[in-house]
């Protein structure tokens, strides 16, 4: 044969030896094949070889422990698992679940309980939660007692989220925000927590933060219905019409299946003025029967019906709400107004809340102010509407809200009023009322206030007991004084007048005199404020400006001094200033 041909033929022959590498992966695959054929001995042998190649890989050890457990060699399996936890990877918390299973099979139930509790309290992933629940039931039966379990690590955020939702429903928005922010820091992909955080920001009047939060949800899950509905409401209240219109095109076409989603969409459409769509979805919910026993749902359907002119339907739904909730004032109120709606003399409700309209609520509270704290704590919708109105209501509404919040005076209210004081966009006159309310409920902290375009710190000048109510007659005195002092006294001096008035009322309450001559009392307050700041003032000047008699002003000034001891304090101050320290 020609040598060249021999060489060419040799070059064209394929190699007969197929190379392969003996590594952990190779033995792992062989072990799995053996398992599929129920050849446990071979599988164990191959897993042992995988461990030899990768002794620091905890998965190989766990696989070997699993085979030993399948073979009934529980103690050997436990030795391997404890070795993983002690030497190789203490963070591999699923080993505790495997240990618990082994101990249960060995009928060592207390050891199984200890291992299972350790798994549930330390494992963040929760891969075996369902299986762990079944094992807990078994241990409960065998030990004849419940297992002592302080927490489930993998459900930690779920429990915290449930707590935050309860706080939202109770109207405690600041506390809910704190918990929700912590959850998201631990678990950024917890979209339900982000949705509720956006709502909490919204209830607190923090629009920009609420939109940013909901937008983050939609970036992660563009079809999230709760986020889309929340965003529509935020756009509505921030007057972002182009964005709202684009979003409504999508929501009008959406037909959710789950009742919770149907309710969310229906209320959202109603809030943004899409009453026809809202009515259609509310009727769907009522026809299914699942929520037909909820009086609020019948009220919402009635509101939607009234807004599209279906007054007979609205009457039927409000009557049903009244039958289901005979103690509520809401259905009777709207049934009385229904005749006016039919005649066009009264507009249908503009909101989808199951409580009285804002103005009506205030009228009731003016007659019975002692009802405010209880009703605000019981109804989170009322509470949220108050916080909303504090930020976004008109001037008159904000004035009412500030005074009403003073009757509640819990920590969240106090923080909301302090935040209001620091907002440079709010009116100075409203801030004066807020300062007065904070002092009247006994807040003696320095208050940081944006007055006249600059930040000031108002220090408390005197201690006072909390006033349980704030009367409109007391407010009238203050407003008259502030109007006369506006151009003559600085903010600190006006603050001192307010705190003097609160101090006087606190000392004489509940025996506050009848304030028939509000101008005379206001002039008396200015008199003592001027004296405290060593300003020259005469009764003649006060008489001309306040149009009150000198006798009245003098009499009221003496009453204030008798209670607060101002003259004595001023004399003592003069004596001390005459003898300065060396």
Number of C-beta neighbours around residue 112 at 10 A: 24
Q: b/e map of 222-242 (b: 16 or more CB within 10 Å)?
A: eebbbbbbbbbbbbbbbebee
Q: Where are the alpha helices (DSSP H) in 109-258?
A: 109-122, 129-143, 156-169, 173-186, 191-203, 207-220, 225-237, 241-253
What's the pLDDT score for residue 155? 67
The residue to which tokens 């001192």 are assigned: 496
- In this prediction, residue 580 has a pLDDT band, given cuts at 50, 70 and 90, of very low
The CA distance from 158 to 421, in Å, is 36
The strand pair at 447-451 and 454-458 is best described as antiparallel
How many residues in total does the chain contain?
582
CA atoms within 13 A on the CB side of 537: 24
pLDDT digits (tens, 9 = 90+) for 138-174: 888 788 887 776 666 656 677 788 888 888 876 678 8
Q: Is the pLDDT of residue 411 over 90?
A: no
**Among 140-154, 342-356, 453-467, 487-501, whose mean pLDDT is lowest?**
453-467
CATH 1.10.472.10 domain position(s) in the chain: 461-582
Q: How far is CA 403 from CA 141, 270, 369, 431, 504, in A?
A: 58, 30, 10, 11, 18
Delimiting residues of CATH 1.25.40.10 domain(s) in the chain: 24-154, 155-254
Q: In terms of Cα–Cα distance, which of 482, 465, 436 is closest to 563?
A: 465
Instruction: Tell which residue, 227, 230, 292, 229, has the closest CA to residue 259.
Output: 292
The pLDDT of residue 6: 44
DSSP states of 266-311: HHHHHHTT-HHHHHHHHHHHHHHSSSTT-HHHHHHHHHHHHHTT-H
**Dihedral sign computed on CA atoms, order 130, 132, 138, 140:** negative
Q: Could you tell me what percent of the chain has a pLDDT over 90?
A: 12
Tokens of 483: 């109007």
Contacts by residues 413-418 (CB-CB < 8 Å, ≥ 24 positions apart):
414/438, 414/441, 414/443, 415/174, 416/174, 416/204, 416/387, 416/390, 418/447, 418/448
Upstream peptide bond of 109 is cis (omega within 30 degrees of 0): no
Contact between 520 and 553 under an 8 Å Cβ cutoff? The reply is: yes
Q: Residue 319 above 70 pLDDT?
A: yes
Contact 325, 335 (CB under 8 A): no
**Whether the Cβ atoms of residue 202 and residue 176 lie closer than 8 Å to each other:** no
* CATH number, domain 461-582: 1.10.472.10
Phi-psi region of 199 (alpha: psi -120 to 50; beta: other; left: phi over 0): alpha
Q: What confidence tens digit (pLDDT) does each residue in 361-392 have?
A: 767 666 666 666 666 666 666 777 777 778 77
What does the pLDDT read at residue 317? 92
* Alpha carbon distance 558, 87 (integer Å): 84
Report the candidate in 425, 423, 384 with the shortest Cα–Cα distance to residue 201: 384
CA angle 31/32/37 to nearest 5° reads 95
Task: Pick one of 2.60.120.10, 3.40.190.10, 1.25.40.10, 3.40.50.620 as the CATH number of 24-154.
Answer: 1.25.40.10
At residue 470, does pLDDT exceed 80? no
Q: What is the pLDDT of residues 497-541, one digit of tens each?
A: 888 888 888 888 878 888 889 999 999 999 998 888 888 888 888
More confident residue, 396 or 245: 245
CB 406 within 8 A of CB 440: yes
The pLDDT value recorded for residue 5 is 42
How far is Cα 496 from Cα 173, in angstroms, rounded to an integer?
Answer: 32
Structure tokens at 102: 């082994």
Please, what CATH class does the domain formed by 155-254 belong to? mainly alpha
Four-CA torsion 213, 214, 215, 216, nearest 10 degrees: 60
Q: Is the pTM of this model over 0.75?
A: no
The angle, 0 to 180 degrees and rounded to 10, between the axes of the packed helices 472-485 and 518-532 is: 50
CA dist list (Å): 380 to 167, 168, 176, 318, 386:
9, 7, 13, 22, 10
């Amino acid at each position: 044969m020609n040598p060249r041909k021999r060489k060419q033929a040799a070059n064209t022959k394929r190699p007969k030896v197929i190379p392969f590498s003996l590594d952990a992966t190779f033995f792992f695959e062989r072990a799995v094949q053996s398992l599929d054929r129920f050849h446990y001995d071979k599988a164990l042998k191959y897993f042992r070889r995988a461990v030899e190649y990768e002794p620091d890989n905890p998965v190989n050890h766990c696989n070997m422990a699993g085979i030993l457990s399948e073979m009934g060699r529980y103690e050997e399996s436990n030795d391997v698992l404890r070795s993983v936890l002690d030497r190789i990877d203490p963070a591999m918390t699923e080993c505790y679940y495997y240990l618990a299973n082994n101990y249960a099979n060995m009928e060592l139930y207390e050891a199984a309980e200890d291992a299972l509790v350790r798994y549930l309290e330390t494992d963040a992933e929760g891969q075996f939660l369902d299986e762990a629940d079944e094992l807990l039931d078994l241990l409960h039966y065998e030990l004849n007692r419940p297992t002592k379990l302080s927490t489930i690590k993998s459900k930690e955020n779920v429990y915290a989220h449930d707590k935050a939702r309860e706080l939202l429903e109770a109207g405690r928005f600041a506390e809910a925000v704190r918990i929700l922010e912590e959850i998201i820091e631990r678990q950024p992909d917890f979209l339900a927590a982000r949705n509720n955080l956006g709502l909490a920001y919204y209830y607190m009047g923090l629009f920009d933060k609420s939109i940013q939060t909901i937008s983050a949800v939609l970036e992660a899950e563009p079809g999230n219905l709760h986020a889309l509905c929340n965003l529509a409401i935020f756009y509505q209240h921030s007057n972002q019409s182009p964005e709202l219109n684009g979003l409504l095109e999508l929501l009008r076409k959406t037909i959710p299946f789950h009742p919770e989603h149907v309710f969310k969409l229906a209320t959202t459409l109603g809030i943004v003025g899409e009453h026809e769509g809202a009515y259609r979805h509310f009727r769907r919910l009522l026809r299914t029967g699942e929520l037909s026993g909820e009086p609020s749902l019948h009220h919402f359907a009635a509101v939607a019906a009234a807004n599209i002119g279906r007054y007979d339907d609205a009457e039927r739904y409000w009557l049903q709400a009244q039958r289901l909730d005979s103690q509520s004032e809401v259905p009777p109120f709207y049934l009385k107004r229904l005749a006016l709606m039919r005649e066009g003399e009264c507009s249908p409700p503009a909101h989808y809340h199951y409580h009285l309209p804002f103005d009506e609520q205030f009228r009731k509270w003016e007659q019975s102010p002692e009802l405010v704290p209880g009703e605000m704590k019981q109804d989170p919708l009322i509470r949220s509407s108050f916080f909303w109105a504090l930020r976004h209501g008109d001037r008159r509404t904000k004035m009412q809200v500030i005074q009403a919040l003073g009757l509640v005076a819990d920590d969240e209210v106090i923080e909301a009023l302090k935040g209001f004081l620091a907002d440079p966009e709010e009116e100075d006159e409203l801030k004066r009322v807020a300062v007065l309310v904070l002092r009247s409920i006994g807040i003696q902290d320095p208050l940081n206030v944006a007055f006249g375009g600059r930040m000031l710190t108002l220090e408390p000048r005197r201690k006072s007991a909390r006033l349980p109510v704030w009367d409109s007659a007391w407010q009238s005195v203050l407003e008259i004084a502030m109007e006369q002092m506006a151009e003559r006294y600085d903010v600190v001096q006006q603050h001192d007048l307010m705190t003097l008035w609160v101090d006087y009322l606190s000392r004489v309450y509940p025996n506050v005199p009848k304030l028939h001559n509000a101008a005379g009392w206001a002039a008396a307050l200015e008199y003592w404020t001027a004296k405290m700041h060593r300003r020259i003032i005469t009764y003649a000047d006060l008489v001309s400006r306040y149009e009150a008699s000198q006798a009245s002003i003098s009499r009221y000034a003496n009453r204030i001094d008798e209670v607060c001891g101002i003259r004595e304090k001023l004399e003592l101050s003069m004596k001390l200033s005459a003898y300065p320290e060396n």
